[in-house]
Amino acid sequence: MKKILLVAGARPNFMKIAPLYHELKKYKRFKPIIVHTGQHYDKEMSDFFFHDLELPEPDIYLGVGSGSHSEQTAKTMTGFEKVLIEENADAVVVVGDVNSTIACALTSAKYRCTKSLRSHRTNLPLIVHVEAGLRSFDRSMPEEINRLLTDQIADILFTTCQDANVNILKEGINKNKIFFVGNVMIDSLKNVKKKITDKIIKELKLEKRKYAVLTLHRPSNVDVKKILTGILQALNRISREVPIIFPCHPRTQKQIRSLSTYKNYNLKGIKDIGKNKNGIFLIPPLGYLDFMSLMANAALMLTDSGGIQEETTIFGVPCLTIRENTERPVTVTQGTNRLVGTNPKRIVREALKILSSCKQKGNNRRIRRPKYWDGRTAGRIVHILLKKLSD
């Protein structure tokens, strides 16, 4: 059997490895092994996601925990090297752009370079990067560094869009390593679509298409007081039109509450939803199914996340990305995403424009899906792995 290590470091990674795990399990010649580095770990939230995605408990848990980028990368490399030695795997699959992605790819590359391992005929695992080639062209982002370096190390690069292929080729990577297969996150969405219900909408006493959803977590937005203050001012104005539901990480909440202007914003708790028609409602982070339901039925999505730009494209939900750039330009050219930066006036202007249009169009939404965002990406990936691991 061919051992495949599927590496996940943070919650967005779970949605990318789940379809691959299920597809690999269809073949007797593959043994998928889930490695959870624990880069972002909350037991309750991880349990929610694994349950929603029908994943088993991770086979290996490294328990890396929080820390600086260097600390997380170093801890992951030290722990993952032991996994490589013990498992003698045929392939290491890393996904996305978190610290665990570059750490496990780099460890695998160095592991293969060790002469003593070669002399003992130990397997030299293929390094596979799923979601390769995405570029924001902003090297101040740690994720951009992770993306660039992982693609240079990988033996097989699976891309989500043609833009990504162009990016990789410009960086001098051999075209024979690159495979345009589509977006594996859409596979997860398709696989659970029948399980998505209105339960969370009813629990929060919301009306479909009459609320907005917000996610905000990037250090460039939440750690810089001037920028965070401006974003909150914009959100405060938008919340006069529709309630804004904000599944908020404790760290982001702490940053918001540290502002001297904290009490100026219409911030409310989960118990206040339904009692008030406007405001910014901070609620705990949600499981995958509940969050997908909340997003799919929103009038507007506001985010600084990468994956959400893709999911809103599939749902046809208007999305405002509170960033100056995006590594997923296909969601702008072919989807529902608009880049608005962090300028408060621009955020408000674009949000009000969308909300006005939503009232006029009602439930009519035009959905445009980029090529291969069809829920069959995992199948294409595994078909290629079958061939590569047989060569």
What is the model's pLDDT at position 42?
Answer: 65
Measured CA to CA in angstroms, residue 146 lies from 102, 152, 174, 177, 295 at distances of 5, 10, 19, 18, 28
pLDDT tens digits, residue range 109-125?
Answer: 999 887 555 555 556 89
Spans of the chain, pLDDT less than 70: 41-46, 115-123, 362-364
CATH number of 2-183+373-388: 3.40.50.2000
**Spatial distance between the Cα atoms of 120 and 100, rounded to a whole number of angstroms:** 28
Percent residues over pLDDT 70 in the chain = 95
pLDDT single digits (tens) 70-112? 999 999 999 999 999 999 999 999 999 999 999 999 999 999 8
Distances (CA, A) of 314 to 113, 131, 195, 201, 275: 42, 17, 17, 20, 32
Domain ranges of the chain: 2-183+373-388, 195-361
Sorted by sequence, the CB contacts under 8 Å of residue 164 that are 6+ apart come out as: 132, 133, 134, 135, 180
Domain 2-183+373-388 and domain 195-361 have a common topology: yes
Q: What is the model's pLDDT at position 139?
A: 95
Active site residues: 217
Question: What's the N-to-C CA distance of the chain in angstroms?
Answer: 15
Q: What is the 3-state secondary structure (H, E, C) of 203-255?
A: HCCCCCCCCEEECCCCHHHHCCHHHHHHHHHHHHHHCCCCCEEEECCHHHHHH
DSSP 281-318: EEE----HHHHHHHHHT-SEEEE--SHHHHHHHHHT--
pLDDT of residue 234: 97
Query: What is the rounded distance in angstroms from the CA atom of residue 166 to the CA atom of residue 77?
Result: 30
In the CATH scheme, what architecture does the domain 195-361 have?
3-Layer(aba) Sandwich (3.40)
Spatial separation of the C-alpha atoms in residues 107 and 225, rounded to whole Å: 36
| pLDDT at residue 357, as a whole number | 87
